[in-house]
Amino acid sequence: MFAETFGIEEAQVAGLKYQAIEQWDSVGHMTLVAAIEDAFEIEMDTDDIIDMSSFEKAQEIVAKYGVAF
């Protein structure tokens, strides 16, 4: 999902952080949030959205909503 939203290779996703690539700016961030919410049918809290500052953090947050990988 990260790879698709930002148009990057899957190998680049691990360890990826906010603003580490041009595509992950505030616009990319909110697009990513929308993609995650749609795919897992969840609605994230504000705190979780603004804490989602890396790929690993995103996994952690999404897991809280009962999504298993």
Binding site for other proteins (CB under 8 A): 5, 7, 18, 22-23, 25-31, 33-34, 45-46, 49-51, 53
Q: Which is nearer to other proteins, 19 or 59 (CB)?
A: 19
Q: Which residues have a Cβ under 8 Å from the Cβ of 13 and sit 6 or more positions away?
A: 2, 3, 55
Q: Which is nearer to other proteins, 20 or 69 (CB)?
A: 20
Tell me how far, at minimum, the Cβ of 7 lies from other proteins, in Å. 6
Q: Is 52 exposed, middle or buried (0-12, 13-18, 19+ CB in 10 A)?
A: buried
Q: Which is nearer to other proteins, 22 or 68 (CB)?
A: 22
Tell me how far, at minimum, the Cβ of 13 lies from other proteins, in Å. 16
CB 18 within 8 A of CB 24: yes
Tokens representing residue 52 in the block = 């989602």
